[in-house]
Protein backbone atom coordinates (compact mmCIF):
# COMPACT_ATOMS: atom_id res chain seq x y z
CA UNK A 1 0.00 0.00 0.00
CA UNK A 2 1.39 3.44 -0.89
CA UNK A 3 2.12 5.54 2.13
CA UNK A 4 0.91 9.11 2.65
CA UNK A 5 4.45 10.35 2.03
CA UNK A 6 4.66 8.51 -1.28
CA UNK A 7 1.28 9.90 -2.36
CA UNK A 8 2.43 13.44 -1.52
CA UNK A 9 5.67 12.93 -3.45
CA UNK A 10 3.73 11.64 -6.45
CA UNK A 11 1.42 14.67 -6.45
CA UNK A 12 4.47 16.98 -6.25
CA UNK A 13 5.98 15.31 -9.34
CA UNK A 14 2.69 15.77 -11.18
CA UNK A 15 2.55 19.47 -10.33
CA UNK A 16 6.19 20.01 -11.38
CA UNK A 17 5.52 18.25 -14.67
CA UNK A 18 2.48 20.42 -15.31
CA UNK A 19 4.48 23.60 -14.59
CA UNK A 20 7.25 22.51 -17.02
CA UNK A 21 4.66 21.66 -19.66
CA UNK A 22 2.92 25.04 -19.34
CA UNK A 23 6.27 26.86 -19.44
CA UNK A 24 7.21 25.01 -22.62
CA UNK A 25 3.89 25.76 -24.31
CA UNK A 26 3.96 29.47 -23.47
CA UNK A 27 7.61 30.52 -23.45
CA UNK A 28 9.70 28.24 -25.68
CA UNK A 29 8.11 29.48 -28.93
CA UNK A 30 8.83 33.05 -27.84
CA UNK A 31 12.47 32.22 -27.07
CA UNK A 32 12.89 30.51 -30.44
CA UNK A 33 11.37 33.53 -32.14
CA UNK A 34 13.73 35.91 -30.33
CA UNK A 35 16.71 33.76 -31.27
CA UNK A 36 15.63 33.88 -34.89
CA UNK A 37 15.45 37.66 -34.68
CA UNK A 38 18.84 37.90 -32.94
CA UNK A 39 17.46 39.38 -29.70
CA UNK A 40 18.91 36.80 -27.30
CA UNK A 41 22.53 37.06 -26.10
CA UNK A 42 23.12 39.74 -28.71
CA UNK A 43 26.26 41.03 -27.02
CA UNK A 44 27.93 37.63 -27.00
CA UNK A 45 27.26 37.01 -30.68
CA UNK A 46 28.20 40.44 -32.03
CA UNK A 47 31.67 41.64 -33.00
CA UNK A 48 33.67 43.29 -30.20
CA UNK A 49 33.15 47.03 -29.93
CA UNK A 50 36.12 49.33 -30.32
CA UNK A 51 37.29 51.06 -27.18
CA UNK A 52 37.28 54.85 -27.13
CA UNK A 53 39.76 55.04 -24.25
CA UNK A 54 43.52 55.48 -24.16
CA UNK A 55 45.26 54.54 -27.39
CA UNK A 56 47.50 51.49 -27.45
CA UNK A 57 51.15 51.35 -28.44
CA UNK A 58 51.85 48.78 -31.13
CA UNK A 59 54.45 46.26 -30.00
CA UNK A 60 56.88 44.19 -32.06
CA UNK A 61 56.02 40.55 -31.53
CA UNK A 62 59.60 39.28 -31.22
CA UNK A 63 60.95 41.88 -28.78
CA UNK A 64 57.85 43.41 -27.22
CA UNK A 65 59.28 46.87 -27.90
CA UNK A 66 56.99 49.69 -28.94
CA UNK A 67 56.96 50.01 -32.71
CA UNK A 68 58.44 53.32 -33.80
CA UNK A 69 58.68 54.76 -37.30
CA UNK A 70 62.23 54.01 -38.52
CA UNK A 71 64.43 56.74 -39.99
CA UNK A 72 63.59 57.78 -43.55
CA UNK A 73 64.65 60.48 -45.98
CA UNK A 74 62.80 61.24 -49.24
CA UNK A 75 61.97 64.15 -51.55
CA UNK A 76 58.50 65.66 -51.39
CA UNK A 77 56.35 67.22 -54.11
CA UNK A 78 58.35 70.44 -53.85
CA UNK A 79 61.68 68.60 -54.25
CA UNK A 80 62.46 69.31 -50.59
CA UNK A 81 64.18 66.61 -48.54
CA UNK A 82 61.88 65.40 -45.76
CA UNK A 83 62.92 63.02 -42.98
CA UNK A 84 61.21 61.31 -40.05
CA UNK A 85 62.62 64.03 -37.80
CA UNK A 86 60.51 66.64 -39.61
CA UNK A 87 57.42 64.89 -38.22
CA UNK A 88 58.56 64.79 -34.59
CA UNK A 89 56.21 66.89 -32.48
CA UNK A 90 53.35 66.21 -34.91
CA UNK A 91 50.56 63.67 -35.02
CA UNK A 92 50.45 62.26 -38.54
CA UNK A 93 48.81 59.66 -40.75
CA UNK A 94 50.85 57.40 -43.04
CA UNK A 95 49.76 55.81 -46.31
CA UNK A 96 51.40 53.99 -49.21
CA UNK A 97 49.92 54.82 -52.62
CA UNK A 98 50.75 55.66 -56.26
CA UNK A 99 49.31 58.39 -58.45
CA UNK A 100 48.18 56.12 -61.30
CA UNK A 101 46.37 53.68 -58.99
CA UNK A 102 43.04 52.77 -60.64
CA UNK A 103 41.38 51.19 -57.60
CA UNK A 104 41.66 52.19 -53.93
CA UNK A 105 44.00 55.20 -54.00
CA UNK A 106 41.41 57.79 -55.10
CA UNK A 107 39.23 56.92 -52.11
CA UNK A 108 42.22 56.93 -49.78
CA UNK A 109 43.23 60.38 -51.02
CA UNK A 110 39.67 61.62 -50.59
CA UNK A 111 39.66 60.42 -46.99
CA UNK A 112 43.01 62.05 -46.28
CA UNK A 113 41.78 65.34 -47.76
CA UNK A 114 38.83 65.02 -45.37
CA UNK A 115 41.27 64.68 -42.49
CA UNK A 116 43.31 67.61 -43.83
CA UNK A 117 40.22 69.81 -43.87
CA UNK A 118 39.11 68.66 -40.42
CA UNK A 119 42.46 69.65 -38.91
CA UNK A 120 43.14 72.57 -41.26
CA UNK A 121 44.11 74.97 -38.47
CA UNK A 122 46.14 72.47 -36.45
CA UNK A 123 49.86 73.11 -36.77
CA UNK A 124 50.91 69.81 -35.18
CA UNK A 125 49.03 67.57 -37.62
CA UNK A 126 50.41 66.14 -40.86
CA UNK A 127 50.25 63.38 -43.46
CA UNK A 128 53.01 61.27 -45.02
CA UNK A 129 52.13 59.70 -48.38
CA UNK A 130 54.82 57.37 -49.73
CA UNK A 131 54.58 56.44 -53.40
CA UNK A 132 55.28 52.80 -54.24
CA UNK A 133 55.95 53.74 -57.89
CA UNK A 134 58.78 56.24 -57.54
CA UNK A 135 60.07 55.66 -61.07
CA UNK A 136 56.97 57.42 -62.39
CA UNK A 137 55.97 59.48 -59.35
CA UNK A 138 58.64 62.16 -59.49
CA UNK A 139 58.30 65.36 -57.45
CA UNK A 140 56.77 67.04 -60.52
CA UNK A 141 54.14 64.31 -60.90
CA UNK A 142 53.39 64.40 -57.17
CA UNK A 143 53.02 68.19 -57.30
CA UNK A 144 50.40 67.90 -60.04
CA UNK A 145 48.62 65.16 -58.09
CA UNK A 146 48.53 67.38 -55.00
CA UNK A 147 47.07 70.29 -56.96
CA UNK A 148 44.50 68.08 -58.67
CA UNK A 149 43.27 66.59 -55.40
CA UNK A 150 43.19 69.71 -53.23
CA UNK A 151 46.20 68.84 -51.09
CA UNK A 152 47.16 72.15 -49.48
CA UNK A 153 48.46 71.36 -45.98
CA UNK A 154 52.17 72.29 -45.83
CA UNK A 155 52.68 69.31 -43.51
CA UNK A 156 51.24 66.83 -46.02
CA UNK A 157 54.29 65.51 -47.86
CA UNK A 158 53.99 63.23 -50.90
CA UNK A 159 57.29 61.40 -50.79
CA UNK A 160 59.38 59.69 -53.45
CA UNK A 161 62.84 58.16 -53.65
CA UNK A 162 64.58 54.81 -53.91
CA UNK A 163 61.98 52.08 -54.46
CA UNK A 164 63.78 49.48 -52.33
CA UNK A 165 63.99 51.89 -49.42
CA UNK A 166 60.29 52.73 -49.67
CA UNK A 167 59.33 49.04 -49.81
CA UNK A 168 61.57 48.31 -46.84
CA UNK A 169 59.93 51.12 -44.90
CA UNK A 170 56.48 49.75 -45.72
CA UNK A 171 57.20 46.11 -44.93
CA UNK A 172 59.69 46.36 -42.05
CA UNK A 173 58.70 49.69 -40.55
CA UNK A 174 54.92 49.50 -40.83
CA UNK A 175 54.27 45.84 -41.76
CA UNK A 176 52.17 47.16 -44.66
CA UNK A 177 52.05 45.43 -48.04
CA UNK A 178 53.78 47.21 -50.94
CA UNK A 179 54.82 45.22 -53.99
CA UNK A 180 55.27 45.59 -57.73
CA UNK A 181 52.99 42.94 -59.22
CA UNK A 182 52.62 42.76 -62.97
CA UNK A 183 49.08 41.33 -62.92
CA UNK A 184 47.76 43.68 -60.23
CA UNK A 185 45.60 46.68 -61.23
CA UNK A 186 48.02 49.45 -62.17
CA UNK A 187 50.97 47.08 -61.77
CA UNK A 188 51.29 47.41 -57.99
CA UNK A 189 49.80 45.77 -54.91
CA UNK A 190 49.46 47.64 -51.64
CA UNK A 191 47.39 47.99 -48.50
CA UNK A 192 44.48 50.40 -48.16
CA UNK A 193 45.16 50.95 -44.47
CA UNK A 194 46.32 54.09 -42.67
CA UNK A 195 48.81 54.11 -39.80
CA UNK A 196 48.53 56.70 -37.01
CA UNK A 197 51.74 58.07 -35.50
CA UNK A 198 52.06 60.12 -32.32
CA UNK A 199 54.27 63.12 -31.63
CA UNK A 200 57.19 60.94 -30.55
CA UNK A 201 57.07 58.75 -33.65
CA UNK A 202 55.28 55.74 -32.15
CA UNK A 203 52.55 53.92 -34.06
CA UNK A 204 49.32 54.04 -32.06
CA UNK A 205 45.71 52.82 -32.30
CA UNK A 206 42.62 52.20 -30.23
CA UNK A 207 41.78 48.77 -28.81
CA UNK A 208 38.90 46.43 -29.52
CA UNK A 209 36.54 45.02 -26.88
CA UNK A 210 39.05 42.26 -26.09
CA UNK A 211 41.89 44.70 -25.44
CA UNK A 212 43.72 44.03 -28.72
CA UNK A 213 45.06 47.02 -30.69
CA UNK A 214 43.31 47.83 -33.95
CA UNK A 215 46.79 48.69 -35.37
CA UNK A 216 45.57 50.26 -38.64
CA UNK A 217 42.51 52.16 -39.88
CA UNK A 218 40.57 51.39 -43.06
CA UNK A 219 41.29 54.04 -45.63
CA UNK A 220 39.14 52.71 -48.46
CA UNK A 221 35.67 53.50 -47.08
CA UNK A 222 34.37 57.06 -46.71
CA UNK A 223 32.23 58.29 -43.86
CA UNK A 224 29.42 58.99 -46.31
CA UNK A 225 29.59 55.42 -47.62
CA UNK A 226 29.43 53.96 -44.12
CA UNK A 227 30.03 50.32 -45.07
CA UNK A 228 31.37 48.55 -48.13
CA UNK A 229 29.98 45.59 -50.07
CA UNK A 230 31.60 43.16 -47.61
CA UNK A 231 29.89 44.82 -44.65
CA UNK A 232 33.08 46.40 -43.31
CA UNK A 233 32.49 49.74 -41.55
CA UNK A 234 34.31 52.98 -42.25
CA UNK A 235 36.97 53.98 -39.73
CA UNK A 236 37.69 57.57 -40.73
CA UNK A 237 35.40 58.80 -37.97
CA UNK A 238 37.40 56.70 -35.47
CA UNK A 239 40.64 58.06 -36.89
CA UNK A 240 39.43 61.64 -36.40
CA UNK A 241 38.62 60.91 -32.76
CA UNK A 242 41.99 59.29 -32.16
CA UNK A 243 43.94 62.09 -33.83
CA UNK A 244 42.28 64.50 -31.42
CA UNK A 245 43.35 62.34 -28.48
CA UNK A 246 46.97 62.26 -29.58
CA UNK A 247 46.99 66.00 -30.23
CA UNK A 248 46.16 66.50 -26.54
CA UNK A 249 48.99 64.30 -25.29
Q: Output the known binding site for Cu cation.
A: 101, 105, 190
Phi, psi of 210 (to 5 degrees): -95, 0
* Count of all residues that appear for the chain in the document: 249
What residues does 50 pair with on adjacent strands? 208
Can you tell me the distance from the alpha carbon of 154 to that of 184, in angstroms, rounded to the nearest whole number?
32
Contact indicator for 51, 207 with CB cutoff of 8 Å:
yes
Give the SS3 label for residue 41. coil
Q: Are 149 and 62 in contact (CB under 8 A)?
A: no
Q: Is the separation of the CB atoms in 214 and 57 below 8 Å?
A: no
Q: How far apart are CA 185 and CA 187, in angstroms?
A: 5
160 C-beta neighbours (distance < 10 Å), count: 27
Q: Measured between alpha carbons, how far is 160 from 82 in angstroms, rounded to an integer?
A: 10
Annotated binding site: 101, 105, 190
Best CA proximity match to 213, nearest among 31, 54, 89, 73: 54
Instruction: Tell me the three state secondary structure of residue 187.
Output: helix
Amino acid sequence: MPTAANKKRKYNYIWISLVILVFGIIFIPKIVDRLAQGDVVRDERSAPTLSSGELAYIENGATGERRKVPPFSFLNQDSVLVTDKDYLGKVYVVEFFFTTCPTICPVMTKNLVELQNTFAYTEDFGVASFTINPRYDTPTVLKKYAEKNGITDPDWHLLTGDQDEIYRLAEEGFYIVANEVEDAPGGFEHSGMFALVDKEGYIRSRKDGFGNPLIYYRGTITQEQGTNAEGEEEQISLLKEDIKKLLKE
